[in-house]
Amino acid sequence: MTMREKIEEAAARYPDQRSAIMPALLIAQEEHGHLPGPVLEEVADILGVERIWVYELATFYTLFHTEPVGMFHLQLCDNVSCMLCGAEDLLNHLETVLGIRKGDTTPDGLFTLSTVECLGACEMAPVMQVGDHYHANLDVARINALLDRLRATVGAPSVEHAAARLPGE
């Protein structure tokens, strides 16, 4: 089934095509990996809605990506509760061990590091979302263990070995 057919099938469930924008964006992102401008335009054209409506939703919600992201998208909450519980230190640690800055993707394409405004889990701060999963009550040890588990799923070296190869060291 083509992307157009999938979107048309999903849109048929909604009385107003604007209500189908989010499901259509999910379908398009699954198909393309991210949502560049031409894909957003195609979604708008398929649904027969204003392009700005599609663009607004695609850029508002953190589950949509207008740029390519790594296999594992690390989204660290940087709202007040998480920051008070150490999220800034965790962000610095992640940047160090991954060898990238916030907003970047590792050269091997495994990790993209982002911050998000709020994940709605303040009682478990600091919190990071990886894909569809939340990781809570984080500290450096838990971050390292998580990165090792993620790397192991694709046979990549552990944090300790990866950190030993950081550029400039």
d(C-alpha 161, C-alpha 113), whole Å: 19
pTM above 0.85, yes or no: no
Asked whether residue 122 is marked as a ligand-binding residue, the answer is yes
Query: What is the average pLDDT across 144-149?
Result: 96
Residue 163 has pLDDT above 60, yes or no: no
Asked whether residue 85 is marked as a ligand-binding residue, the answer is no
If DSSP states are collapsed to H, E and C, what string results for 31-60?
Answer: HHCCCCHHHHHHHHHHHCCCHHHHHHHHHH
Asked whether residue 118 is marked as a ligand-binding residue, the answer is yes
d(C-alpha 69, C-alpha 7), whole Å: 23
All structural domains of the chain? 3-60 (1.10.10.1590), 72-163 (3.40.30.10)
Q: Look at residue 64 in the predicted model and tell me its pLDDT.
A: 93
Q: Look at residue 87 in the predicted model and tell me its pLDDT.
A: 97
Q: Look at residue 132 in the predicted model and tell me its pLDDT.
A: 81
